Chains A and B, each alone.
Chain A
Amino acid sequence: MSTDFVKASEQGRVVLEARNLVRDFRTNKRAGAFGREQFRAVDDVSLELRAGQVTALVGQSGSGKSTVGRLLAQLMPLTSGELLLNGERVSATRGRAFIRYTGTVQMTLQDPFSSLNPLHRVSYTLGRALRIHGGPMSADEVEERSLALLRKVELAPAEHYLHRFPHELSGGERQRISFARALAAEPKVLLADEPVSMLDVTIRKGMLDLLDQLRRTEELAVLYITHDLGSARAYSAQTLVMYHGKVVERGSSEQVIDSPAHEYTQRLLAAAPNPRRRLAG
């Protein structure tokens, strides 16, 4: 069981650190003559991602958890706060610096059906990622490395998947292609935004097992963004709970989920479907 690995994992080196992240969005509501009302989606969030360790960021929709992921990926600028990659401050939301940053920090998105361009074959998607981060390489080399990536995400036989279009693949297979694309950069940090929430229950486990395995073999620092406390407990060492843009509780996953301190976490846990409730009642 994966929980054993989590327990065995040592406190790894901090790869990516976020300090006091704040992100405001303009709303459509006007404030005053020219301004717009601001909405604080992320409010003073700090976290550390360690090599070889999964950190879960748990929250309901609108809690700001996905925005934290995008801020860590530098897909959008911070309103305030700072990001430290290997201890050095980084700020690169565009240009070459951003591309260099994506060489270390990669992100995968929630919806396996729309996160791959429907018009591009798998080979194109992976090939682009390889060329962006691996520099110029021959077509043969791209193919070889693409196949290696597909094997890494356990899509076998790899040759079969290389020339497929996304619509020819199942949801689980597409999510694996997304992982493969992220791995093409040989990143140190993987930000996985709800990787299994759109998948059927029976294939979720396989997907999370893969994530767990990649964490170990690639020494990846993984941020597992989810709304599901149960899987956070099963697959991550650390858990942070977000509510209205703030981290309301953090700690080791066992501690947070088995003995929640914050009232919101307690309510979440109490609200989870629980067949035992009937046996007890």
Chain B
Amino acid sequence: MNLSRLVPASGKVRAGLIIAIFFVLLAAFGPLLTSYSPQASGTELLQPPSGTHWLGTTQTGQDVFAQFVYGARVSLGVGLVAGIISQIVSVLVGVIGGYFRGLSDDLLYILTAVFLVVPGMPLLIVLTGYLPSRGMVSVAFVIAITSWAGSARVLRAQTMSLRRREFVEAARATGESRTRIVFSEIMPNALPLIASGFLFSVIGAVLAEAGLSFLGLGSLTTTSWGSMLYFAQSAQAFLYGAWWWFVPPGLAIAVLGAGLALINFGIDEYSNPRLRTGKSRGRATRTSGPHAAALSTAGAAAAASGVDAPGTAPVLHEDGVGEVAGTEPSEGAAAAAQLRPIDVAGEPIIEVRNLKVDYPGIDRVVHAVDDVSITLHRGEILGLAGESGSGKSTLTNAITRLLRNPAQVTGGSITYHRTRARPGGSRGTDPGSAESIDLLGLSTEELRGYRWDEIAIVFQSAMNALNAVTSVGAQFDDVLRVHRPTMPAREREALARTMLEKVGIDSDRVSSYPHELSGGMKQRVAIAIALVLEPDVIIMDEPTTALDLLIQREVLDQVMALRDEYGFAIIFTTHDLSLLLEVSDSIAVMQRGRLVEYGPALEVYAEPRHPYTQALLASLADMGALV
């Protein structure tokens, strides 16, 4: 999402820079292009643009082009001076208040609030109304006074969030002084905000100056874009249709403002080094998504140019796990996949065959899921193990059809076997009659009916998966309204209450909001919502990783009990192999997009065959885990 937004952004930035540079050049050198003085009146009154007067003349015969270029100097000058002053004030107030907190921050906060809420333009008008002499500098100063607050507020919030970041605490722990932390740890990170705040102050100041001058409150002896509009207005230029008089200054203000806003779009890109050295690596090690796969597949040696072959160093410093296993870490030499027959009683419900999911990268295609075949049977718990970047989330997202751009399924199939009739379901089938559905071929509309009814999901972090602004009940209710349209409201609520009780939560919590629940309770609510349509399959994506050990155990026990009651099948994803070994019927181990070991859990545990699985189990044992 980020990347696709940045690509057109750079085009916008280029346009913005061209606009800004054009106006700066116009202000600097424009007056050299004209022989007229902006104030001198002439004999040709109110003439449209011509060869002698490029932008025509005013009512008193002044040359509009001369006024326009001299006015550019004044307007830009006021904008810059006001922008600089206002930004200095907001940096001082925002960064200092945000970092040092305490009483001074409280006072600064209230001061900011006052200037934020009190409307700037009327204050500006009143202040300039009292100014004894209205030079452009004093106008700029007054504009700055009325405009710093918005930016200060944003900077304060940013500083407060930065000072909670671990690198600030780490710098403190290293012994850095406070001033140094403010100036070299926090400020550089706030720089994009300061820059964009500056651009907005400049736009604001140019607009404010134009507004003031337009009201006749600026310096009317100085020509600015605003005062041009003032004279055009008082001469009723628009009644005469003298567009050449009032169109250029207003258009210039709008274009300049748009240009600065466009530059703003790209400020992040220039100030954030993450975007400097190749975008695909930006989030590589951070997420377990596609980008991580990019890193692993490319191998550390290739991705970070200049890394010597890891094999030469007798140390284990890369995420590439091959080294731990003592196998060749380079690509393509991985040991063959170790597949064992699965011995589960139920009929197959999901069959994944030779699935391939690719992420087209900048210079190479990354195979996030590479030729993976697995089968989930009714009532089976299939454990899917793998570290960040192994492709396990990509695999489950392919099954649930939740892959995001730019991921593409490039091969293989996913078949869903639907058998039972659905009580109250909108599209019942005869009990016992099997129906094989090509999941990847479903249209969006067909997919909707099958989602949650057949396959539900429990996300890793219920904190993020529950909608914070609606009640728990509402989040049951919308599923039921959509999938059980004939169910009356009272029944829907009763069902939600029953489901909550099933997961050990008081049914009155149906009217609670997510923030009123503890982490473990939220995860239980998420499980209850997943169960509400009694799906045949539940995909659990690291459902207990964010939980404490004791709560994890409770939630697991609950899931097992519910599985016994409802008989759904589970695909259980986690990096915690010992947990999987304990709960699952069969285990699939993924590494770099490939399935490396697949078989009954007990067999994999007793006799891991693939070197990677062996290494995983060995390192678990070394770490003192109970395996």
Interface residues of A (CB under 8 A from B): 1-2, 60-62, 73, 75, 94, 98-99, 102-103, 106-111, 113-120, 128-129, 132-133, 154-157, 160, 164-165, 167-173, 176, 178, 181-182, 184-185, 200-206, 208, 227-235, 257, 267-268, 270-279
Contact = CB atoms under 8 A, between A and B. Distances in A.
B285 interface: yes
A119 B273 contact: yes
B550 A230 contact: no
Contacts of A116: 167, 170
Given A230-B626, A274-B582, A115 B316 contact: no
A115 B170 contact: yes
B623 A275 contact: no
B619 A202 contact: yes
B400 interface: no
Nearest to A116: B167
Nearest to B581: A275
Contact of B175 (A185, A206, A275): A185
B553 A275 contact: no
Interface string B607-623: 00000000110011011
Given A117-B167, A170-B318, A234-B624, A273 B576 contact: yes
Nearest to A106: B173
A117 B620 CA distance: 31
Contact of B285 (A132, A171, A267, A278): A171
Contacts of A271: 549-550, 552-553
Given A114-B166, A116-B167, A168 B175 contact: no
Contacts of B171: 117, 128
B321 A206 contact: no
Contacts of A75: 169, 172-173
Contacts of B324: 202-203, 205-206
Contacts of A111: 166
B602 interface: yes
Nearest to B574: A273
B174 A110 contact: no
A202 B317 contact: no
A254 to B, nearest CB: 11
Contacts of B173: 73, 75, 102, 106-109, 182
A106 B73 CA distance: 55
A271 B177 CA distance: 44
B317 A113 contact: no
B185 A109 contact: no
A172 B319 contact: yes
A252 B31 CA distance: 84
A115 to B, nearest CB: 4
Contacts of A106: 173-174
Given A60-B548, A200-B321, A117 B616 contact: no
Nearest to A113: B286
B402 to A, nearest CB: 24
A106 to B, nearest CB: 7
Given A167-B282, A205-B622, A272-B549, 15 more contacts: A73-B173, A75-B169, A94-B178, A107-B173, A115-B170, A156-B315, A156-B317, A171-B319, A185-B174, A202-B615, A230-B624, A234-B622, A267-B550, A273-B579, A278-B602
B277 interface: yes
Contacts of A156: 313, 315, 317
B387 A201 contact: yes
B619 A109 contact: no
A170 B626 contact: no
A156 B104 CA distance: 48
Interface residues of B, number: 66
A203 B602 CA distance: 25
B67 interface: no
Nearest to B165: A114
A176 to B, nearest CB: 7
B577 interface: yes
9 contacts: A2-B622, A60-B550, A118-B274, A165-B273, A167-B281, A173-B318, A203-B319, A272-B549, A272-B625
A114 to B, nearest CB: 4
Interface in B555-591: 575-579, 581-582
Contacts of B575: 200-201
B304 interface: yes
Contacts of A129: 174-175
Contacts of B177: 99
A227 B227 CA distance: 68
B602 A170 contact: no
B623 A230 contact: yes
A267 B578 CA distance: 18
Q: 9 closest pairs, A vs B, by CB? A: A230-B624, A275-B581, A234-B624, A102-B175, A271-B553, A206-B316, A273-B579, A60-B548, A115-B166
Interface in B282-337: 282, 285-286, 295, 300, 304, 306-308, 313, 315-319, 321, 324
B219 interface: no
Interface string B242-258: 00000000000000000
Contacts of B281: 167-168
Nearest to A151: B315
Interface in B231-280: 272-274, 277
B47 to A, nearest CB: 56
B285 A170 contact: yes
Among A119, A167, A273, the most chain B Cβ lie within 10 Å of the Cβ of A273
A136 B415 CA distance: 68
B92 to A, nearest CB: 21
Contacts of B166: 109-111, 114-115
Contact of A119 (B188, B282, B300, B552): B188
A107 B308 CA distance: 31
A99 B549 CA distance: 37
A154 B317 contact: yes
A204 B575 CA distance: 13
B154 to A, nearest CB: 19
Given A75-B172, A167-B281, A171-B285, A278 B582 contact: yes
Contacts of B214: none
A132 B582 contact: no
A246 B165 CA distance: 27
A111 B165 CA distance: 10
A275 B627 contact: yes
Contacts of B577: 201
Nearest to A133: B175
Nearest to B575: A201
B582 A275 contact: yes
Given A1-B622, A99-B175, A110-B166, A118 B273 contact: yes
B176 interface: yes
A201 B620 CA distance: 7
A229 to B, nearest CB: 7
Interface in B381-402: 387-388
B408 interface: no
A185 B174 CA distance: 8
A98 to B, nearest CB: 7
A172 B317 contact: yes
A107 B171 CA distance: 10
B230 interface: no
B338 to A, nearest CB: 18
Interface in B88-119: none
B189 interface: yes
Contacts of A109: 166, 169-170, 173
B304 A275 contact: no
B605 interface: yes
Given A116-B170, A168-B281, A234-B622, A173 B317 contact: yes
Nearest to A114: B166
A229 B624 contact: yes
Given A102-B175, A119-B188, A202-B387, A273 B582 contact: yes
A6 to B, nearest CB: 11
Contacts of B316: 203, 205-206
Nearest to A111: B166
A247 B282 CA distance: 41
